[in-house]
Amino acid sequence: MQLPSLASIGKGPFFLMAGSCAIESNDLAFEIAERIHLMTQSMGIPYIFKGSYRKANRTKIDSFTGIGDIKALEILKAVGAHYDIPTVTDIHESGEAAMAAAYVDVLQIPAFLCRQTDLLAAAAQTGKAVNIKKGQFMSGASMKFAVEKVLHENPNAPVYLTDRGNSFGYGDLVVDYRNLPEMSAFNVPVIMDCTHSLQRPNQGSGVTGGQPALIETIAKAAIAVGADGLFIETHPNPSVAKSDGANMLPLDQLEALLEKLLKVREAIA
């Protein structure tokens, strides 16, 4: 397996980070990975399987957080080995970096933790690739310092930056596409999170809302302005997903979307 790099991206299409929000079960993880692996292979799209082994940022005390850290990480490792594809998962505290690094290829820093120096340093020290999500409260230009923190600890660490929208009032997000070229200026691959950027967080009900009908719009625009990769959470039945179902793409809609996005990429090449 090989992680996408700036050199490889320039010679082909965008790459894809995709999977369910959280690892819910072994069967579901393999179902999603197999279907996406087959479609991306046929289209020549590099694929990284995504799944959170634990959800630490939840609104309510009784929200789903996971099936157990090691159990979920073992599923991630098994998926990667079976399909020979890289895998990515979130970490939330410095002490989790080494643990997660033993199972996955990319450590993801959640947006609300992107300024945490110790967390970024711990991720870099594992030798794994690091995907840093841009904080909803930050500009693309300000992510320069997050990249510098990782490279200070490990100058050879592959680093990705992911935009997931900016806070717009108290319960909504808006995408400012200026962030993508601003982050590309740091000579790292830049990813657009097409699902979390459509969240409507912190609702009075305690359940995050979303606008999944606009995923195609966000993705097309991101490719048009030069995104190197796309991040998409998907599920066979988002209505029963245990986390973030309100902004997920139904899995049976992904292939048609990717075909359209390849045409956009070809048009701007």
Q: Is residue 3 part of a domain?
A: no
**Is the residue at 1 inside a domain?**
no
136 belongs to a structural domain: yes
- Quick: pLDDT tens for 106-140: 999 999 999 999 999 999 999 999 999 999 999 99
Give a yes or no: residue 8 inside a domain: no
Does a structural domain hold residue 78?
yes
Q: What are the backbone dihedrals phi and psi of residue 158, each rounded to the nearest 5 degrees, phi first?
A: -70, 130
pLDDT at position 206, please?
A: 45
The encoded tokens of residue 22 equal 């959280």
E strands, the chain, are 15-19, 47-50, 87-90, 106-109, 129-133, 159-163, 166-167, 173-174, 190-193, 199-200, 209-210, 229-235, 249-250
What pLDDT shows up at residue 201?
A: 65
Please state the domain count of the chain: 1
Asked, for residue 4, whether it belongs to a domain, the answer is no
Cα radius of gyration rounded to whole Å, the chain: 17
| Structural domain of 228 | 14-268
For the stretch 202-211, pLDDT in tens is: 554 544 556 7
Q: CA 95 to CA 122: how far, in whole Å?
A: 8
**Full DSSP string of 108-156:** EE-GGGTT-HHHHHHHHHTTSEEEEEPPTTS-SGGGHHHHHHHHHH-TT
CATH of the domain at 85: 3.20.20.70
Residue 7 lies in a domain: no
Please state, in angstroms and rounded to a whole number, the distance separating the CA atoms of residues 4 and 86: 10
Q: What is the pLDDT of residue 204?
A: 45
Token pair, residue 206, equals: 């305690």
Q: Which residues contact 93 (CB under 8 A, 6 or more apart)?
A: 119
Structure pTM?
A: 0.93
pLDDT category at 7 given cuts 50, 70, 90 is confident
- Per-residue model confidence as pLDDT tens digits over 138-157: 999 999 999 999 999 999 99
Burial class (CB in 10 A: 0-12, 13-18, 19+), 23: buried
5: in domain: no
Residue 231, phi then psi, degrees to nearest 5: -115, 120
